[in-house]
Structure 1
């Protein structure tokens, strides 16, 4: 059974952690820039809503796959506080480093959205809110399920040492499940699955409507998936990370 690693405050000053935070910032920035930018492009072009949803889903799928691959060997390419908490629940990253990642991811998201607002001449930054007819309970449950599927995929295709022929395909498959989840839940809960992805637009637009849903749902779903997969499906014949944990 995996054991949660607390870590120490000294991690923040270690060269490998500083390097990881730098790469995590860059990858999260580029992910949010492309993801939010695609949603802004759909709004600007005023296209068909179904086509727009597909366009946004595919943009997220592609950029998630690429940015996980780009950051994987240094920061793990989390891009997402829910991914970080899911890995923390399995003992694959310390609590201390997880908190640093969360701050890093949120700052990167805010910076990407601020730059997009400037580059698009002040276009409205689309924020994640619940659709009409979707209440808080439904929204939270939707985000829990969608994020659970995301973290379950991360564990099955990237973390699990028994991934076999899936080895190397994890980032692509993770991107695909993100795209599929946006197609399934985008019209209802906005299918965030990522508190940082929701935070940047909310901050820049200063619109916090339903915002708490996109922290509670994804963090519960991510943590639950990490705990379940790591404790019930991973073979513990190898030792968990003993001290300065490497993401993934």
Structure 2
């Protein structure tokens, strides 16, 4: 079971130069992703006089997030694993692929990257609001929770299958493409209901800068449950605990 491989890590690990380098990579990757994703919504709203919540706006958000995540994962993959998402980090932790202390450092970097991206957007756009994620009308918090659990499960399961699993073969560039595509597809499914976050960092930055926290817990609880379930299921059923891939050996060292 993956639970046997869960590691808290050593105290000195959090301040180790390699950990800090990986955290910086996560900060930059998350900043790139949120700046492009959140910024695309702000740009669409500006060009359409606030009509971002339209079918065209949904497609634009899907494409922008898919492209941006493909790049963000690619540029971070060889340094930090390219998590760009606390739910991915949590799923990797549950599967024993990263220690708790290193995961916390990743979380701090990801949240900081998202917050800085939103601050930069607010400044660069002359004070436009970085809109926080919100539930659509007639969508309850329980509806939203299920959406976020299922969508994030699909995302983290894809990460395991294409990036973490040592049996994945030479997928190379396919991993970040697949990860970007599943996020883009999920936005087309869930965007009209919850905004389709799948990523607590993506939700945190806009909420912090706009200081809007309505139902914010949904965008943490849902993705963490979905990511954790994906980690447990993939590690338990599909990975036979042979030597981990080089990328993730480095993460859990």
Instruction: State the TM-score, normalized to the length of structure 2.
Output: 0.93
Distance change in 2, residues 1:92/1:236 (3 Å)? same
1:83-140, CA deviations, whole angstroms, 9 ceiling, x for partnerless residues?
0000001111100111111111111111110110010011111110111000011111
3-state SS of 1:144 partner: helix
Q: Which residue of 1 aligns with 2:15?
A: 13
**Aligned pair 1:132/2:134, yes or no?**
no
CA contact (8 A) 2:164 2:245 kept: no
Question: Which consecutive unaligned segments of at least 5 residues does structure 2 have?
Answer: none
Aligned 1:102-181 pairs, distance under 5 A: 102-164=107-169, 166-181=171-186
Aligned 1:191-206 pairs, distance under 5 A: 191-206=196-211
3-state SS of 2:130 partner: coil
CA contact (8 A) 2:200 2:220 kept: yes
Structure 1 residue 166 displacement after superposition: 3.5
Within 2, Cα distance between the matches of 1:194 and 1:159?
18
CA contact (8 A) 2:166 2:243 kept: no
3-state SS of 2:198 partner: coil
Question: Which consecutive unaligned segments of at least 5 residues does structure 1 have?
Answer: none
Structure 1 residue 244 displacement after superposition: 7.9
Q: Which residue of 1 aligns with 2:65?
A: 60
**Aligned pair 1:75/2:80, yes or no?**
yes
Structure 1 residue 204 displacement after superposition: 0.4
Within 2, Cα distance between the matches of 1:237 and 1:207?
45
Within 2, Cα distance between the matches of 1:247 and 1:70?
20
Structure 1 residue 237 displacement after superposition: 2.8
Structure 1 residue 221 displacement after superposition: 0.4
Structure 1 residue 239 displacement after superposition: 6.0
Instruction: State the TM-score, normalized to the length of structure 1.
Output: 0.95
CA contact (8 A) 1:75 1:247 kept: no
Within 1, Cα distance between the matches of 2:162 and 2:94?
17
